[in-house]
């Protein structure tokens, strides 16, 4: 919500009544801090805490200067300028690679091609640098307007620096007036579409982290919390750039680390560069608490091609289960069957992690008792394997394992108990843990999973085979 103020130090106030205003506030605060512009951080209105500022401080020149600083070398002219100045400091010595990199940057977009007419040859930097400086504002404006990781990824590029519009400038909220009204949707009435628009929405891109799938956490309890969360998320996401994980995986791991965030349900706004709309993720506090119980996600780094264009990604499946508070049972069962079919050794590690994680995420009262029972079942499975191998009965191990997995995936716990009793008799080993399954098979399914998972005589395989 934007409000005009009268007879006060500042003439405008902005309150985080919904995510667009929250993101605009974070972007504006970063802009004010960069330029050392005075503003008020604890403006109150009807229970909301927002910011107050003078609208005259929002200028195009200051905006572009801040944008250049914020995105840095993502502006091709900025990268070229830095490389040219570094060469000058080295005594104007250049390699062929450096010259090529500078020329590639100078041809980085349409506006640079129009403005910089000469090619860098290793000696004419004094000719190129003044051209970049003289046309800096135009270059910055056109680059920022059209780059997909800048303004064009968030809003209609034709509406940059416009005042309030009939429809919101953000992608997914905007109506393209150049199209016929009826092309929007069947039965669409143009007067029915309402979307508030303010010039401050131009600052929204600065609130999102700079990743392919970009995020903004609308933790709008108060302005300090809103900015603290945004700053923490930006820092953690930047530190994780080199990790081999999806942006969403890094997001959720980051959120679990941010102090105080697990106490509330949180709205997260997502914007992918290949989509012309924003998405809302509602992450419950229970899911964030569950995230804290995750093992090292690197251990769950397993991808498998199930079909054309369809991959099983264990990390992402686990995170989706976490967000939506869903059981891991179907994922564990799918991986058990995949392991039996394809004999992928690394899945032994993945499945073992998931079985214990399933207990951590459950609502059972005595989780420690359950885990002790599971460890006992695993020990009896290993003892059974040792006994049967001594008898040269390796095929029996595989046979009983397959029978158990089949019964577990069909949730036929009477059959599970029958197989365990047969195996106990055949191996001449008592299984005390079976009483838990006889009492309630569904409630103690993790015990059966732990036993079946450990009932294997296998040679350890390298992690390289985990990605088929």
pLDDT band at 407, cuts 50/70/90? very high
pLDDT at 461 over 70: no
Least confident of 116-120, 245-249, 417-421, 437-441: 245-249
Q: Kindly tell me the burial class for residue 289, based on how many C-beta atoms sit within 10 Å of its own C-beta (0-12, 13-18, 19 or more).
A: middle
Residue 278 confidence (pLDDT) above 80: yes
pLDDT at 468: 46
Does pLDDT of 232 surpass 70?
yes
Q: What pLDDT shows up at residue 316?
A: 83
Residue 191 confidence (pLDDT): 52
Q: Residue 450: what pLDDT? A: 94
State what percent of residues in the chain have pLDDT above 70.
Answer: 89
What predicted TM-score, i.e. pTM, was given to this entire model? 0.75
Residue 463 pLDDT: 41
41-85: pLDDT as tens digits: 989 998 899 999 999 999 999 999 999 999 998 999 999 988 888
């Amino acid at each position: 919500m934007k409000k005009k103020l009268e007879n006060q130090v500042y003439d405008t106030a902005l309150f985080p009544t919904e995510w667009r205003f929250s993101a605009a506030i974070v972007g504006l605060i970063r802009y004010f801090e960069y330029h050392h512009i005075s503003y008020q951080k604890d403006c109150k209105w009807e229970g909301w805490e927002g910011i107050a500022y003078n609208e005259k401080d929002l200028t195009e020149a200051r905006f572009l200067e801040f944008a250049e600083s914020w995105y840095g070398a993502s502006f091709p002219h900025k990268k070229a300028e830095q490389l040219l100045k570094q060469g000058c400091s080295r005594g104007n010595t250049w390699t062929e690679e450096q010259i090529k990199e500078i020329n590639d940057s100078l041809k980085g977009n349409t506006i640079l091609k129009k403005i910089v007419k000469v090619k860098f040859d290793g000696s004419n930097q004094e000719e190129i640098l003044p051209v970049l400086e003289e046309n800096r504002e135009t270059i910055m404006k056109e680059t920022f307007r059209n780059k997909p990781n800048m303004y064009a990824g968030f809003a209609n590029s034709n509406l940059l620096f416009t005042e309030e519009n009939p429809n919101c400038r953000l992608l997914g909220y905007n109506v393209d007036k150049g199209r016929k009204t009826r092309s929007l949707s069947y039965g669409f009435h143009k007067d029915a579409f309402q979307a508030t628009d303010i010039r401050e929405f131009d600052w929204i891109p600065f609130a999102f982290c700079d990743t392919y799938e970009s995020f903004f956490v609308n933790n709008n309890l108060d302005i300090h919390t809103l900015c603290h969360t945004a700053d923490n998320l930006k820092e953690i996401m930047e530190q994780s750039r080199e990790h081999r994980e999806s942006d969403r995986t890094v997001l959720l791991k980051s959120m679990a680390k941010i102090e105080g965030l697990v106490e509330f349900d949180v709205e997260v706004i997502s914007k992918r560069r290949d989509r012309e709309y924003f998405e809302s993720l509602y992450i419950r506090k229970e899911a964030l608490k569950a995230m804290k119980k995750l093992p090292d996600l690197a251990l769950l780094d397993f991808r498998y091609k199930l079909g054309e264009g369809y991959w099983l990604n264990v990390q992402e499946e686990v995170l989706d289960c976490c967000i939506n508070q869903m059981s891991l049972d179907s994922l564990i069962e799918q991986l058990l069957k995949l392991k039996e079919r394809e004999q992928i050794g690394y899945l032994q590690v993945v499945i073992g992690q998931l079985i214990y994680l399933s207990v951590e995420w459950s609502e059972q009262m005595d989780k420690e008792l359950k885990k002790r029972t599971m460890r006992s079942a695993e020990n009896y499975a290993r003892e059974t394997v040792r006994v049967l191998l001594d008898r040269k009965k390796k095929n029996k191990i595989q046979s009983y394992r397959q029978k158990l997995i089949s019964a577990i995936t069909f949730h036929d716990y009477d059959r599970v108990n029958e197989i365990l009793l047969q195996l106990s008799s055949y191996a001449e080993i008592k299984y005390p843990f079976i009483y838990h399954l006889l009492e309630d098979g569904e409630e103690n399914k993790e015990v059966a999973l732990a036993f079946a998972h450990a009932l294997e005589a296998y040679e350890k395989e390298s992690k390289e085979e985990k990605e088929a």
